[in-house]
Structure 1
Amino acid sequence: MTTSLGEKIRHHRQEKGYSLDKLAELTESSKSYIWELENRDTRKPSAEKLTRIAQALSVTTDYLLDEKATPDEKVLQEAFFRKFSKLEDEDKKKIEQMIDMWGKKD
């Protein structure tokens, strides 16, 4: 089964509860540009736009570009760790503390 770039963007946008306006805002794009990506296979975003879209949707650019890729656990983990790596050290420590506390629950 193949899934186009537009179908993936629409699916993950809706899954996150984002309107076209919200995704456009998050990716510094126009609403009409996002609509065209979702509905016309003729639009090919630049690497910069594709990266912003992937980050906003918590997926990888590789996943968006690969028509045969599915949003498996590996893709979601890569997106999470990419976001995590960009956090300030203080924020990373807070998240690590939360994970440690969750792990101690029995």
Structure 2
Amino acid sequence: MTRPDHHPEITSHMASFIRDRRKALGLSLDDVANRMGSSKAHIWELENGRSKNPTLWMILGLCEALQCSLNALIGKDVSQPLFTESEMALIDAHRKIFGGPSQ
């Protein structure tokens, strides 16, 4: 059973980034796989956008093997919170009024 790809833009970016970065570093698929304890086939699947839901450990292994940041690998800045403090306060107030988990 294939899991759905909830973030196709990230999958697409990662595929081309992994391939381009690997080639820029002069690494083979085997080199990357060996550096991160994975298989050549799995790296190929990632480069071709066929592995759509890699684990956190796989992503961290790729960052280490390709000597890149998480932001570069996924093509998004994940260092900033999704919401400002005032937006979070508004969300918490809404949850208190209407129910739901609070922070």
TM range (shorter): 0.5 to 0.7
Over 3 Å counting, the alpha-carbon distance change for 1:31 and 1:45 in structure 2 is same
Structure number with bigger Rg: 2
Task: Name the structure where helix makes up a greater proportion of residues.
Answer: 1
Q: Between the two proteins, what is the percent identity of the paired residues?
A: 31
Identify if the C-alpha distance between structure 1 residues 24 and 42 changes in structure 2 by more than 3 Å, giving closer, same or farther. Answer: closer
**TM-score, scaled relative to structure 1:** 0.56
Q: What's the RMSD between the two structures over aligned residues?
A: 1.9
Report the Cα offset of residue 44 of structure 1: 2.1
Distance 2:50 2:73 in 1: 13
Structure 1 residue ranges (4+ consecutive) displaced by more than 6 angstroms after TM superposition: none
Length, aligned pairs only = 67
Match of 1:55 in 2: 64
1-side partners of 2:71 and 2:53: how far apart?
Answer: 14
Any stretches of 5+ residues in structure 2 without a counterpart?
1-8, 78-103
Q: Which SS does the other structure have where 2:53 is aligned?
A: coil
**For structure 1, which runs of at least 5 residues remain unmatched after alignment?**
70-106
Residue 29 of structure 1 is matched in structure 2 by 38
Structure 1 window deviating more from structure 2 (46-55 vs 34-43): it is 34-43
Per the normalisation by structure 2, the TM-score is: 0.58
